[in-house]
Chain A
Amino acid sequence: MRLISIVGQKLLNTAQAAGEMLALFVETLYFIKEAPRNLPSITRHMSDIGIGTLPVAMLLALFVGMVLSLQTGSELALYGTQEAIGSIVGLSMVRELGPMMTSLLVAGRIGSAMAAEVGAMKVYEEIDALRTLEINPVRYLAMPRLIACVFAVPALVVFADMVGIAGGGMIAAVNPQINVPFNVYYDNMVRSLDYMEVLKGLMKSFVFGGIIAQVGCYVGFKTTGGARGIGESTTRSVVISFVLIMIANYFLTRFMM
Protein backbone atom coordinates (compact mmCIF):
# COMPACT_ATOMS: atom_id res chain seq x y z
CA MET A 1 0.00 0.00 0.00
CA ARG A 2 2.83 2.32 0.96
CA LEU A 3 4.67 1.45 -2.27
CA ILE A 4 1.60 2.33 -4.35
CA SER A 5 1.30 5.61 -2.50
CA ILE A 6 4.98 6.46 -3.16
CA VAL A 7 4.74 5.53 -6.85
CA GLY A 8 1.50 7.49 -7.18
CA GLN A 9 3.06 10.54 -5.55
CA LYS A 10 6.08 10.31 -7.87
CA LEU A 11 3.79 10.13 -10.90
CA LEU A 12 1.80 13.12 -9.68
CA ASN A 13 5.01 15.11 -9.11
CA THR A 14 6.26 14.20 -12.59
CA ALA A 15 2.95 15.23 -14.16
CA GLN A 16 3.02 18.50 -12.25
CA ALA A 17 6.62 19.21 -13.32
CA ALA A 18 5.74 18.43 -16.95
CA GLY A 19 2.78 20.80 -16.78
CA GLU A 20 4.85 23.56 -15.20
CA MET A 21 7.62 23.10 -17.75
CA LEU A 22 5.07 23.34 -20.56
CA ALA A 23 3.60 26.50 -19.00
CA LEU A 24 7.10 27.99 -18.76
CA PHE A 25 7.73 27.08 -22.40
CA VAL A 26 4.51 28.77 -23.54
CA GLU A 27 5.32 31.87 -21.47
CA THR A 28 8.86 31.95 -22.88
CA LEU A 29 7.49 31.70 -26.44
CA TYR A 30 5.12 34.58 -25.68
CA PHE A 31 8.06 36.80 -24.75
CA ILE A 32 10.02 36.04 -27.94
CA LYS A 33 8.37 39.15 -29.40
CA GLU A 34 10.51 41.12 -26.91
CA ALA A 35 13.73 39.51 -28.17
CA PRO A 36 15.19 42.60 -29.92
CA ARG A 37 15.45 44.54 -26.66
CA ASN A 38 17.30 41.63 -25.07
CA LEU A 39 19.79 41.38 -27.93
CA PRO A 40 22.86 42.06 -25.74
CA SER A 41 21.83 39.31 -23.33
CA ILE A 42 21.09 36.89 -26.19
CA THR A 43 24.46 37.52 -27.85
CA ARG A 44 26.25 37.09 -24.52
CA HIS A 45 24.59 33.72 -23.95
CA MET A 46 25.23 32.67 -27.56
CA SER A 47 28.89 33.53 -27.07
CA ASP A 48 29.01 31.51 -23.82
CA ILE A 49 27.33 28.51 -25.41
CA GLY A 50 28.91 28.68 -28.87
CA ILE A 51 32.43 30.01 -28.49
CA GLY A 52 32.82 28.60 -24.98
CA THR A 53 31.82 25.07 -26.01
CA LEU A 54 33.37 25.04 -29.49
CA PRO A 55 36.89 23.79 -28.61
CA VAL A 56 35.72 20.89 -26.46
CA ALA A 57 32.88 20.02 -28.91
CA MET A 58 35.39 19.89 -31.77
CA LEU A 59 37.83 17.79 -29.78
CA LEU A 60 35.06 15.38 -28.83
CA ALA A 61 33.79 15.21 -32.41
CA LEU A 62 37.30 14.61 -33.75
CA PHE A 63 37.83 11.57 -31.54
CA VAL A 64 34.30 10.24 -32.06
CA GLY A 65 34.82 10.45 -35.84
CA MET A 66 38.22 8.79 -35.51
CA VAL A 67 36.92 5.91 -33.34
CA LEU A 68 33.92 5.42 -35.62
CA SER A 69 36.17 5.24 -38.65
CA LEU A 70 38.67 2.94 -36.96
CA GLN A 71 36.15 0.42 -35.66
CA THR A 72 33.80 0.38 -38.64
CA GLY A 73 36.60 0.63 -41.22
CA SER A 74 38.55 -2.32 -39.84
CA GLU A 75 35.38 -4.47 -39.86
CA LEU A 76 34.55 -3.40 -43.43
CA ALA A 77 38.12 -4.17 -44.48
CA LEU A 78 37.52 -7.85 -43.60
CA TYR A 79 34.97 -7.96 -46.42
CA GLY A 80 36.87 -5.58 -48.73
CA THR A 81 34.13 -2.93 -48.58
CA GLN A 82 36.08 -0.29 -46.64
CA GLU A 83 35.45 2.36 -49.31
CA ALA A 84 31.93 2.75 -47.84
CA ILE A 85 33.49 4.21 -44.70
CA GLY A 86 32.96 7.78 -45.97
CA SER A 87 29.19 7.27 -46.27
CA ILE A 88 28.96 5.53 -42.90
CA VAL A 89 30.91 8.15 -40.94
CA GLY A 90 29.18 11.03 -42.77
CA LEU A 91 25.65 9.72 -42.19
CA SER A 92 26.36 8.72 -38.59
CA MET A 93 27.84 12.08 -37.71
CA VAL A 94 25.20 14.18 -39.44
CA ARG A 95 22.15 12.16 -38.45
CA GLU A 96 22.92 11.04 -34.92
CA LEU A 97 26.33 11.50 -33.41
CA GLY A 98 26.83 15.19 -34.16
CA PRO A 99 23.48 16.44 -32.77
CA MET A 100 23.36 13.99 -29.86
CA MET A 101 26.94 14.29 -28.72
CA THR A 102 26.99 18.09 -28.99
CA SER A 103 23.64 18.45 -27.23
CA LEU A 104 24.68 16.19 -24.37
CA LEU A 105 27.89 18.18 -24.05
CA VAL A 106 25.98 21.49 -23.99
CA ALA A 107 23.49 20.02 -21.48
CA GLY A 108 26.36 19.08 -19.20
CA ARG A 109 28.33 22.25 -19.63
CA ILE A 110 25.72 24.98 -20.19
CA GLY A 111 22.41 23.49 -18.99
CA SER A 112 23.89 22.82 -15.57
CA ALA A 113 25.40 26.31 -15.44
CA MET A 114 22.01 27.80 -16.36
CA ALA A 115 20.30 25.85 -13.58
CA ALA A 116 22.98 26.92 -11.10
CA GLU A 117 22.88 30.60 -12.15
CA VAL A 118 19.08 30.90 -12.17
CA GLY A 119 18.90 28.76 -9.02
CA ALA A 120 21.35 31.04 -7.21
CA MET A 121 19.29 34.04 -8.31
CA LYS A 122 16.19 32.35 -6.87
CA VAL A 123 17.86 31.43 -3.58
CA TYR A 124 19.45 34.87 -3.11
CA GLU A 125 16.15 36.67 -3.80
CA GLU A 126 17.30 38.20 -7.11
CA ILE A 127 14.26 36.79 -8.89
CA ASP A 128 12.00 38.32 -6.25
CA ALA A 129 13.91 41.57 -6.77
CA LEU A 130 13.19 41.37 -10.51
CA ARG A 131 9.48 40.97 -9.73
CA THR A 132 9.47 44.01 -7.46
CA LEU A 133 11.24 45.93 -10.25
CA GLU A 134 8.26 44.92 -12.46
CA ILE A 135 10.56 42.86 -14.70
CA ASN A 136 9.19 39.47 -15.70
CA PRO A 137 11.87 36.86 -14.82
CA VAL A 138 10.77 34.64 -17.71
CA ARG A 139 11.32 37.45 -20.19
CA TYR A 140 14.56 38.61 -18.58
CA LEU A 141 16.12 35.21 -17.85
CA ALA A 142 14.46 32.36 -19.76
CA MET A 143 13.70 33.91 -23.15
CA PRO A 144 17.27 35.07 -24.00
CA ARG A 145 18.65 31.68 -22.94
CA LEU A 146 16.12 29.79 -25.07
CA ILE A 147 16.88 31.85 -28.17
CA ALA A 148 20.64 31.61 -27.61
CA CYS A 149 20.47 27.83 -27.14
CA VAL A 150 18.29 27.04 -30.16
CA PHE A 151 20.69 28.90 -32.45
CA ALA A 152 24.02 28.12 -30.80
CA VAL A 153 23.53 24.34 -30.55
CA PRO A 154 22.86 23.83 -34.31
CA ALA A 155 25.83 26.09 -35.07
CA LEU A 156 28.01 23.92 -32.85
CA VAL A 157 26.65 20.80 -34.54
CA VAL A 158 27.78 22.09 -37.95
CA PHE A 159 31.35 22.39 -36.66
CA ALA A 160 31.15 19.06 -34.82
CA ASP A 161 29.92 17.30 -37.97
CA MET A 162 32.72 18.77 -40.06
CA VAL A 163 35.44 17.94 -37.57
CA GLY A 164 34.07 14.44 -36.91
CA ILE A 165 33.95 13.66 -40.62
CA ALA A 166 37.45 15.05 -41.09
CA GLY A 167 38.73 12.94 -38.17
CA GLY A 168 37.13 9.84 -39.70
CA GLY A 169 38.71 10.62 -43.07
CA MET A 170 42.11 11.09 -41.50
CA ILE A 171 42.02 7.67 -39.81
CA ALA A 172 40.65 6.03 -42.97
CA ALA A 173 43.63 7.42 -44.90
CA VAL A 174 46.44 6.76 -42.44
CA ASN A 175 45.36 3.43 -40.96
CA PRO A 176 47.09 0.71 -43.02
CA GLN A 177 44.27 -1.77 -42.40
CA ILE A 178 41.59 0.57 -43.82
CA ASN A 179 43.75 2.52 -46.30
CA VAL A 180 41.03 4.59 -48.02
CA PRO A 181 42.44 7.76 -49.64
CA PHE A 182 40.78 10.98 -48.45
CA ASN A 183 39.39 11.86 -51.91
CA VAL A 184 37.63 8.46 -52.10
CA TYR A 185 36.35 8.89 -48.53
CA TYR A 186 35.12 12.41 -49.36
CA ASP A 187 33.42 11.41 -52.63
CA ASN A 188 31.56 8.56 -50.93
CA MET A 189 30.54 10.79 -48.09
CA VAL A 190 29.22 13.54 -50.39
CA ARG A 191 27.38 11.03 -52.56
CA SER A 192 25.42 9.58 -49.62
CA LEU A 193 24.71 12.89 -47.85
CA ASP A 194 22.09 15.26 -49.18
CA TYR A 195 20.92 18.57 -47.81
CA MET A 196 17.87 16.97 -46.19
CA GLU A 197 20.07 14.75 -44.07
CA VAL A 198 22.00 17.77 -42.82
CA LEU A 199 18.79 19.68 -42.25
CA LYS A 200 17.26 16.83 -40.25
CA GLY A 201 20.34 16.75 -38.01
CA LEU A 202 20.12 20.49 -37.50
CA MET A 203 16.38 20.26 -36.77
CA LYS A 204 17.16 17.76 -34.02
CA SER A 205 19.82 19.98 -32.52
CA PHE A 206 17.42 22.95 -32.66
CA VAL A 207 14.93 20.98 -30.54
CA PHE A 208 17.66 19.68 -28.22
CA GLY A 209 18.88 23.25 -27.70
CA GLY A 210 15.36 24.27 -26.68
CA ILE A 211 15.16 21.35 -24.24
CA ILE A 212 18.49 22.28 -22.62
CA ALA A 213 17.49 25.93 -22.08
CA GLN A 214 13.99 25.14 -20.84
CA VAL A 215 15.13 22.46 -18.41
CA GLY A 216 18.00 24.62 -17.11
CA CYS A 217 15.69 27.58 -16.50
CA TYR A 218 12.81 25.50 -15.10
CA VAL A 219 15.04 23.67 -12.63
CA GLY A 220 16.67 27.00 -11.71
CA PHE A 221 13.31 28.66 -11.05
CA LYS A 222 12.28 25.75 -8.82
CA THR A 223 15.46 25.81 -6.73
CA THR A 224 15.05 26.03 -2.97
CA GLY A 225 17.26 25.47 0.03
CA GLY A 226 20.52 27.39 -0.30
CA ALA A 227 23.83 26.08 -1.62
CA ARG A 228 22.77 22.46 -1.31
CA GLY A 229 19.64 23.20 -3.36
CA ILE A 230 21.73 24.85 -6.07
CA GLY A 231 23.96 21.77 -6.26
CA GLU A 232 20.93 19.48 -6.50
CA SER A 233 19.44 21.66 -9.26
CA THR A 234 22.64 21.40 -11.27
CA THR A 235 22.55 17.61 -11.16
CA ARG A 236 18.82 17.48 -11.77
CA SER A 237 19.03 19.69 -14.86
CA VAL A 238 21.68 17.44 -16.44
CA VAL A 239 19.73 14.26 -15.72
CA ILE A 240 16.40 15.65 -16.98
CA SER A 241 18.04 17.16 -20.08
CA PHE A 242 19.76 13.86 -20.94
CA VAL A 243 16.54 11.87 -20.55
CA LEU A 244 14.43 14.35 -22.54
CA ILE A 245 17.06 14.59 -25.30
CA MET A 246 17.10 10.78 -25.64
CA ILE A 247 13.30 10.59 -25.76
CA ALA A 248 13.05 13.51 -28.19
CA ASN A 249 15.75 11.94 -30.36
CA TYR A 250 13.75 8.75 -30.80
CA PHE A 251 10.55 10.55 -31.74
CA LEU A 252 12.27 13.06 -34.02
CA THR A 253 14.11 10.23 -35.79
CA ARG A 254 10.86 8.31 -36.14
CA PHE A 255 8.93 11.26 -37.59
CA MET A 256 11.72 12.40 -39.90
CA MET A 257 12.30 8.95 -41.45
Chain B
Amino acid sequence: MADKQDPRSPVTRFLGALGNGTQIGDIWTKLSHGFTATLMEGQDKQISYEDSHGGIGIRIESLNKSFNGNQVLKEINLEILPGETFSLIGPSGTGKSVLLKHIVKLLEPDSGKIFIDGHDIHSQESSPRNYRYSMVFQSSALFNSLTVGENVGLWLREKRVCGEKQIRQIIREKLSLVGLDGKEEMRTSELSGGMRKRVAIARSLAMNPDLILYDEPTAELDPVTSDELARVIINLKEKVRLTTVIVSHDLNFALYLSDRVGMMHDGQIVEIGTPQQIKQSQNPIVRNFIYTTTKGIKGEDN
Protein backbone atom coordinates (compact mmCIF):
# COMPACT_ATOMS: atom_id res chain seq x y z
CA MET B 1 0.00 0.00 0.00
CA ALA B 2 1.39 3.40 -0.92
CA ASP B 3 2.30 5.72 1.94
CA LYS B 4 -0.01 8.65 2.41
CA GLN B 5 1.90 11.78 1.53
CA ASP B 6 2.24 14.36 4.27
CA PRO B 7 2.52 17.81 2.64
CA ARG B 8 4.35 19.24 5.66
CA SER B 9 8.09 19.81 5.34
CA PRO B 10 10.40 17.25 7.00
CA VAL B 11 11.42 19.86 9.61
CA THR B 12 7.79 20.58 10.46
CA ARG B 13 7.01 16.86 10.67
CA PHE B 14 10.00 16.26 12.92
CA LEU B 15 9.21 19.16 15.24
CA GLY B 16 5.52 18.27 15.16
CA ALA B 17 6.38 14.74 16.20
CA LEU B 18 8.16 16.16 19.22
CA GLY B 19 4.89 17.82 20.22
CA ASN B 20 3.76 14.96 22.43
CA GLY B 21 4.52 16.46 25.80
CA THR B 22 8.09 17.66 25.23
CA GLN B 23 9.05 21.26 25.80
CA ILE B 24 10.53 21.74 22.30
CA GLY B 25 7.34 20.35 20.81
CA ASP B 26 5.19 22.71 22.87
CA ILE B 27 7.25 25.71 21.81
CA TRP B 28 6.99 24.64 18.17
CA THR B 29 3.23 24.14 18.46
CA LYS B 30 2.87 27.63 19.90
CA LEU B 31 5.08 29.09 17.17
CA SER B 32 3.26 27.33 14.38
CA HIS B 33 -0.10 28.47 15.72
CA GLY B 34 0.77 32.15 15.84
CA PHE B 35 3.82 33.53 17.57
CA THR B 36 2.28 36.53 19.23
CA ALA B 37 -0.97 34.71 19.90
CA THR B 38 1.02 33.12 22.71
CA LEU B 39 2.96 36.21 23.68
CA MET B 40 -0.09 38.42 23.81
CA GLU B 41 -2.27 35.89 25.53
CA GLY B 42 -4.36 37.55 28.17
CA GLN B 43 -3.84 41.12 26.97
CA ASP B 44 -5.44 40.99 23.54
CA LYS B 45 -8.61 39.02 24.06
CA GLN B 46 -11.28 40.96 22.20
CA ILE B 47 -13.87 38.20 22.09
CA SER B 48 -15.43 36.28 24.90
CA TYR B 49 -16.02 32.70 23.87
CA GLU B 50 -18.95 32.16 26.19
CA ASP B 51 -21.10 35.12 25.18
CA SER B 52 -23.26 33.32 22.63
CA HIS B 53 -26.95 34.20 22.88
CA GLY B 54 -28.05 30.81 21.69
CA GLY B 55 -30.23 31.82 18.76
CA ILE B 56 -31.05 35.09 17.05
CA GLY B 57 -33.79 36.23 14.73
CA ILE B 58 -33.45 37.33 11.09
CA ARG B 59 -35.80 39.71 9.30
CA ILE B 60 -35.48 40.37 5.57
CA GLU B 61 -37.39 43.27 4.02
CA SER B 62 -37.94 43.85 0.29
CA LEU B 63 -34.57 42.41 -0.76
CA ASN B 64 -33.62 42.73 -4.43
CA LYS B 65 -30.48 41.66 -6.24
CA SER B 66 -29.50 41.61 -9.90
CA PHE B 67 -26.41 40.32 -11.70
CA ASN B 68 -25.76 41.87 -15.13
CA GLY B 69 -29.40 42.86 -15.52
CA ASN B 70 -30.69 39.45 -14.46
CA GLN B 71 -32.81 39.88 -11.33
CA VAL B 72 -31.96 36.95 -9.04
CA LEU B 73 -33.85 38.06 -5.92
CA LYS B 74 -37.21 39.80 -6.19
CA GLU B 75 -38.78 41.59 -3.24
CA ILE B 76 -37.83 38.94 -0.68
CA ASN B 77 -39.61 39.30 2.66
CA LEU B 78 -38.86 36.72 5.31
CA GLU B 79 -38.73 36.35 9.07
CA ILE B 80 -36.76 33.57 10.78
CA LEU B 81 -37.34 33.21 14.49
CA PRO B 82 -34.63 32.83 17.18
CA GLY B 83 -33.67 29.19 17.70
CA GLU B 84 -35.64 28.05 14.66
CA THR B 85 -34.42 25.62 11.99
CA PHE B 86 -35.55 27.11 8.71
CA SER B 87 -34.96 25.55 5.30
CA LEU B 88 -35.13 27.22 1.93
CA ILE B 89 -35.92 24.72 -0.77
CA GLY B 90 -36.32 25.01 -4.49
CA PRO B 91 -34.70 23.99 -7.76
CA SER B 92 -31.16 25.08 -8.64
CA GLY B 93 -30.77 28.66 -9.87
CA THR B 94 -33.69 30.17 -7.97
CA GLY B 95 -31.52 32.43 -5.77
CA LYS B 96 -31.36 30.39 -2.55
CA SER B 97 -27.58 30.54 -2.16
CA VAL B 98 -27.54 34.19 -3.20
CA LEU B 99 -30.00 34.96 -0.41
CA LEU B 100 -27.81 33.05 2.07
CA LYS B 101 -24.73 34.99 0.98
CA HIS B 102 -26.57 38.24 1.68
CA ILE B 103 -27.26 37.10 5.24
CA VAL B 104 -23.53 36.51 5.88
CA LYS B 105 -22.60 39.76 4.09
CA LEU B 106 -20.72 38.09 1.25
CA LEU B 107 -23.03 40.01 -1.09
CA GLU B 108 -24.56 43.48 -0.89
CA PRO B 109 -28.22 43.89 -1.89
CA ASP B 110 -29.32 46.31 -4.61
CA SER B 111 -32.15 47.36 -2.33
CA GLY B 112 -33.85 46.11 0.80
CA LYS B 113 -32.66 45.39 4.31
CA ILE B 114 -31.61 42.45 6.44
CA PHE B 115 -31.90 42.70 10.20
CA ILE B 116 -30.12 40.18 12.40
CA ASP B 117 -30.81 40.46 16.10
CA GLY B 118 -32.39 43.85 15.30
CA HIS B 119 -29.24 45.23 13.54
CA ASP B 120 -29.38 46.30 9.89
CA ILE B 121 -26.33 44.31 8.77
CA HIS B 122 -25.68 46.33 5.61
CA SER B 123 -26.05 49.69 7.31
CA GLN B 124 -23.09 52.07 6.99
CA GLU B 125 -23.41 53.00 10.66
CA SER B 126 -21.26 50.51 12.47
CA SER B 127 -22.99 49.42 15.61
CA PRO B 128 -21.23 46.86 17.80
CA ARG B 129 -22.53 43.39 16.98
CA ASN B 130 -23.10 41.06 19.88
CA TYR B 131 -23.87 37.90 17.95
CA ARG B 132 -21.85 35.54 15.79
CA TYR B 133 -22.74 33.63 12.67
CA SER B 134 -20.98 30.99 10.65
CA MET B 135 -21.60 29.23 7.39
CA VAL B 136 -21.07 25.72 6.07
CA PHE B 137 -20.32 26.01 2.37
CA GLN B 138 -21.52 23.72 -0.39
CA SER B 139 -17.91 22.75 -1.19
CA SER B 140 -17.08 22.55 2.56
CA ALA B 141 -14.32 25.14 1.84
CA LEU B 142 -11.79 23.49 4.13
CA PHE B 143 -8.24 24.85 4.00
CA ASN B 144 -6.17 22.10 2.43
CA SER B 145 -2.89 23.40 3.84
CA LEU B 146 -4.20 22.81 7.38
CA THR B 147 -5.02 19.64 9.29
CA VAL B 148 -8.56 18.85 10.45
CA GLY B 149 -7.76 20.22 13.92
CA GLU B 150 -6.17 23.37 12.52
CA ASN B 151 -9.21 23.96 10.33
CA VAL B 152 -11.54 23.66 13.30
CA GLY B 153 -9.35 25.85 15.52
CA LEU B 154 -8.57 28.50 12.89
CA TRP B 155 -11.02 31.12 14.14
CA LEU B 156 -10.09 30.54 17.79
CA ARG B 157 -6.37 31.00 17.06
CA GLU B 158 -6.76 33.91 14.67
CA LYS B 159 -9.02 35.79 17.09
CA ARG B 160 -6.89 34.78 20.11
CA VAL B 161 -10.07 33.78 21.87
CA CYS B 162 -8.39 31.66 24.51
CA GLY B 163 -5.20 29.82 25.37
CA GLU B 164 -3.76 26.99 23.30
CA LYS B 165 -4.75 24.34 25.85
CA GLN B 166 -8.39 25.45 25.80
CA ILE B 167 -8.36 25.71 22.02
CA ARG B 168 -7.29 22.08 21.74
CA GLN B 169 -10.03 21.12 24.18
CA ILE B 170 -12.64 22.99 22.10
CA ILE B 171 -11.37 21.34 18.89
CA ARG B 172 -11.77 17.90 20.50
CA GLU B 173 -15.28 18.76 21.75
CA LYS B 174 -16.50 20.11 18.41
CA LEU B 175 -15.09 17.18 16.45
CA SER B 176 -16.75 14.85 18.93
CA LEU B 177 -20.09 16.64 18.41
CA VAL B 178 -19.96 15.79 14.70
CA GLY B 179 -18.73 12.23 15.28
CA LEU B 180 -15.10 12.73 14.32
CA ASP B 181 -13.32 11.98 17.60
CA GLY B 182 -9.56 11.76 17.34
CA LYS B 183 -9.31 12.97 13.74
CA GLU B 184 -7.47 16.21 14.59
CA GLU B 185 -4.23 15.26 12.87
CA MET B 186 -5.77 14.01 9.62
CA ARG B 187 -5.13 15.92 6.41
CA THR B 188 -8.27 17.27 4.74
CA SER B 189 -7.26 15.46 1.53
CA GLU B 190 -7.74 12.15 3.37
CA LEU B 191 -11.41 12.87 4.18
CA SER B 192 -14.50 11.63 2.39
CA GLY B 193 -17.17 14.09 1.22
CA GLY B 194 -19.33 13.46 4.28
CA MET B 195 -16.38 13.83 6.66
CA ARG B 196 -15.39 17.10 4.99
CA LYS B 197 -18.92 18.42 5.57
CA ARG B 198 -18.74 17.38 9.21
CA VAL B 199 -15.37 19.08 9.67
CA ALA B 200 -16.85 22.22 8.10
CA ILE B 201 -19.73 22.01 10.62
CA ALA B 202 -17.23 21.53 13.50
CA ARG B 203 -15.28 24.56 12.26
CA SER B 204 -18.48 26.61 12.28
CA LEU B 205 -19.44 25.33 15.73
CA ALA B 206 -16.00 26.29 17.07
CA MET B 207 -17.11 29.91 16.73
CA ASN B 208 -19.88 29.19 19.23
CA PRO B 209 -22.30 30.88 16.80
CA ASP B 210 -25.80 32.16 17.41
CA LEU B 211 -26.67 31.52 13.78
CA ILE B 212 -25.40 28.77 11.50
CA LEU B 213 -26.13 28.64 7.78
CA TYR B 214 -25.79 25.59 5.57
CA ASP B 215 -25.47 25.97 1.81
CA GLU B 216 -26.60 22.75 0.09
CA PRO B 217 -25.24 20.48 2.86
CA THR B 218 -26.24 17.28 1.06
CA ALA B 219 -24.89 18.26 -2.37
CA GLU B 220 -22.61 15.53 -3.75
CA LEU B 221 -23.45 13.20 -0.84
CA ASP B 222 -25.06 9.76 -1.14
CA PRO B 223 -28.43 9.19 0.64
CA VAL B 224 -26.84 7.29 3.55
CA THR B 225 -24.28 10.05 4.21
CA SER B 226 -27.03 12.66 3.83
CA ASP B 227 -29.01 10.83 6.50
CA GLU B 228 -25.97 10.75 8.80
CA LEU B 229 -25.52 14.47 8.26
CA ALA B 230 -29.19 15.09 9.04
CA ARG B 231 -28.73 13.22 12.33
CA VAL B 232 -25.65 15.33 13.14
CA ILE B 233 -27.65 18.53 12.58
CA ILE B 234 -30.58 17.23 14.65
CA ASN B 235 -28.19 16.27 17.47
CA LEU B 236 -26.71 19.74 17.37
CA LYS B 237 -30.16 21.25 17.53
CA GLU B 238 -30.80 19.29 20.73
CA LYS B 239 -27.42 20.12 22.32
CA VAL B 240 -26.74 23.65 21.08
CA ARG B 241 -29.55 26.16 20.90
CA LEU B 242 -28.92 28.19 17.78
CA THR B 243 -30.78 29.50 14.79
CA THR B 244 -30.22 27.31 11.74
CA VAL B 245 -30.84 28.24 8.12
CA ILE B 246 -30.48 25.52 5.50
CA VAL B 247 -30.51 26.00 1.76
CA SER B 248 -31.16 22.77 -0.08
CA HIS B 249 -32.85 21.25 -3.09
CA ASP B 250 -33.09 17.98 -1.12
CA LEU B 251 -36.76 18.06 -0.13
CA ASN B 252 -36.69 15.04 2.20
CA PHE B 253 -33.67 16.38 4.06
CA ALA B 254 -35.32 19.78 4.54
CA LEU B 255 -38.69 18.37 5.64
CA TYR B 256 -37.01 15.98 8.07
CA LEU B 257 -34.96 18.65 9.86
CA SER B 258 -36.88 21.87 9.75
CA ASP B 259 -39.32 23.69 11.96
CA ARG B 260 -40.41 25.69 8.93
CA VAL B 261 -39.69 25.50 5.23
CA GLY B 262 -39.76 28.20 2.56
CA MET B 263 -40.09 27.39 -1.13
CA MET B 264 -38.20 29.61 -3.58
CA HIS B 265 -39.04 29.92 -7.22
CA ASP B 266 -37.68 32.38 -9.77
CA GLY B 267 -36.13 34.67 -7.15
CA GLN B 268 -39.22 34.81 -4.94
CA ILE B 269 -40.45 32.97 -1.86
CA VAL B 270 -43.70 31.43 -3.02
CA GLU B 271 -44.69 29.47 0.10
CA ILE B 272 -43.70 29.27 3.77
CA GLY B 273 -44.98 26.76 6.27
CA THR B 274 -44.27 23.84 8.55
CA PRO B 275 -43.10 20.63 6.83
CA GLN B 276 -46.69 19.29 7.09
CA GLN B 277 -48.13 22.46 5.54
CA ILE B 278 -45.57 22.34 2.71
CA LYS B 279 -46.38 18.69 2.01
CA GLN B 280 -50.10 19.49 1.83
CA SER B 281 -49.68 22.77 -0.07
CA GLN B 282 -51.99 23.36 -3.04
CA ASN B 283 -49.56 25.82 -4.62
CA PRO B 284 -48.83 24.33 -8.08
CA ILE B 285 -45.12 25.25 -7.90
CA VAL B 286 -44.72 23.50 -4.55
CA ARG B 287 -46.79 20.52 -5.68
CA ASN B 288 -44.69 20.20 -8.84
CA PHE B 289 -41.45 20.34 -6.84
CA ILE B 290 -42.72 17.70 -4.40
CA TYR B 291 -43.93 15.54 -7.27
CA THR B 292 -40.63 15.70 -9.19
CA THR B 293 -38.58 14.80 -6.11
CA THR B 294 -40.86 11.99 -4.85
CA LYS B 295 -42.40 10.53 -7.99
CA GLY B 296 -40.97 7.05 -7.43
CA ILE B 297 -40.82 4.31 -10.06
CA LYS B 298 -42.12 4.94 -13.58
CA GLY B 299 -45.51 3.33 -14.11
CA GLU B 300 -46.31 2.89 -10.41
CA ASP B 301 -48.92 5.06 -8.67
CA ASN B 302 -47.76 7.08 -5.67
Contacts and interface: CB of A to CB of B under 8 A. Distances in A.
Do chains A and B interact in one complex?
A: yes
A129 B155 contact: no
Max count, chain B CB within 10 A of own CB: residue among A39, A132, A133:
A132
Nearest to B105: A131
Interface in A120-136: 121, 124-126, 128-129, 131-135
A13 interface: no
A134 B155 contact: yes
24 contacts: A36-B36, A37-B35, A37-B36, A37-B37, A38-B34, A39-B35, A40-B32, A40-B33, A124-B139, A125-B139, A125-B141, A126-B142, A128-B106, A129-B137, A129-B143, A132-B104, A132-B135, A133-B207, A134-B155, A134-B158, A134-B159, A135-B154, A135-B155, A140-B158
Contact of B138 (A39, A40, A125, A134): A125
A24 B255 CA distance: 44
B121 to A, nearest CB: 13
A183 interface: no
A129 B135 contact: yes
Interface string B114-152: 000000000000000000011101110111000000000
Given A47-B9, A134-B159, A135-B155, A126 B141 contact: yes
Contacts of B143: 121, 126, 129
Given A39-B36, A125-B138, 6 more contacts: A37-B36, A126-B141, A131-B105, A133-B134, A134-B155, A135-B158
A16 B36 CA distance: 37
Contacts of B36: 36-37, 39
Contacts of B138: 125
Contacts, number: 57
Max count, chain A CB within 10 A of own CB: residue among B104, B135, B207:
B135
B24 interface: no
A133 B207 CA distance: 8
Nearest to B28: A40
A129 B32 CA distance: 21
A131 B106 contact: yes
B31 interface: yes
Interface size band for A: 10 to 19
A214 B43 CA distance: 33
Nearest to B101: A128
A128 B101 CA distance: 9
Contacts of A39: 31, 34-36
A192 B99 CA distance: 67
Contact of B141 (A38, A128, A135): A128
Contacts of B142: 126
A132 B106 contact: yes
A75 to B, nearest CB: 46
Contacts of B137: 125, 128-129
Q: Which are the 8 A-B pairs with shortest beta-carbon distances?
A: A129-B141, A125-B141, A39-B35, A37-B36, A132-B135, A125-B137, A36-B36, A133-B155
Interface string A206-243: 00000000000000000000000000000000000000
B164 to A, nearest CB: 14
A126 B134 CA distance: 13
A140 B104 CA distance: 19
B141 A124 contact: yes
A154 B134 CA distance: 41
A38 B36 CA distance: 8
A124 B104 CA distance: 17
A33 to B, nearest CB: 11
A47 B8 CA distance: 12
B154 A133 contact: yes
A132 B106 CA distance: 8
A132 B203 CA distance: 11
A67 B158 CA distance: 50
B34 A37 contact: yes
Contacts of A47: 9
A132 B34 CA distance: 20
